[in-house]
């Protein structure tokens, strides 16, 4: 499989994971901001009913363009380091190296992206968590 296939798969999985988490956590649906009766309002209302938020789209982009390529490069280098080594000791060392070196790098990458989004909303006056009326990106009218 090509790297592009994994990028798209990772993006889709991040997108679906965010929507599923919103449903399971009982996060309130965002309210449409467009004027009632417009096509944009109808689209926003449909997305709202499905709990598809701007965060879901952002996570899909993050998964496709940051997480998947980063993991692809890091795991590829790890596999090259352990090429031809098949003893149980070598396999255990490879697993340990993955857990100690690669997993923290990808975790820091994800937490940095989430923190950057939180800081951006804080700077624009938006709420960092959904309020009782839904998500209000860049506004503080709750």
pLDDT tens profile 12-28: 998 999 899 888 988 88
Given pLDDT bands bounded at 50, 70 and 90, which one contains residue 90? very high
- Give the total number of structural domains in the chain: 1
Contacts of residues 25-28 at CB distance under 8 Å and 24 or more positions apart, as own/partner, are 27/51, 27/130, 28/130, 28/132, 28/133, 28/134
Among the residues of the chain, which ranges form H helices? 3-25, 39-49, 54-62, 68-81, 88-97, 103-123
Binning pLDDT at 50, 70 and 90, where does residue 140 land?
very low
Q: Is residue 38 part of a domain?
A: yes
131 part of a folded domain: no
Q: Among residues of the chain, what percentage have pLDDT more than 90? A: 22
**What separation in angstroms does the CA of 138 have from each of 54, 109, 115, 133?**
12, 24, 16, 14
pTM over 0.85: no
> Considering the chain, what is the average pLDDT of its residues?
78
Model confidence at 80, pLDDT cuts 50, 70, 90, reads very high
Residue 141 lies in a domain: no
Domain range enclosing 98 = 3-123
């Amino acid at each position: 499989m090509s790297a592009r296939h994994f990028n798209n798969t990772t993006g889709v999985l991040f997108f679906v994971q965010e929507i599923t988490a919103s449903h399971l956590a009982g996060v309130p649906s965002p309210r449409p901001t467009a004027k009632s009766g417009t096509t944009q309002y109808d689209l926003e209302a449909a997305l709202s009913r499905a709990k598809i938020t701007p965060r879901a789209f952002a996570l899909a982009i993050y998964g496709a363009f940051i997480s998947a390529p980063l993991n692809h490069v890091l795991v590829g280098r790890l596999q090259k380091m352990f090429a031809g080594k098949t003893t149980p000791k070598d396999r255990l060392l490879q697993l340990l190296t993955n857990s100690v070196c690669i997993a923290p790098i990808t975790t820091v990458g994800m937490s940095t992206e989430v923190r950057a989004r939180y800081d951006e909303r804080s700077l624009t006056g938006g709420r960092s968590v959904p309020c009782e009326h839904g998500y209000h990106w860049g506004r503080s009218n709750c």
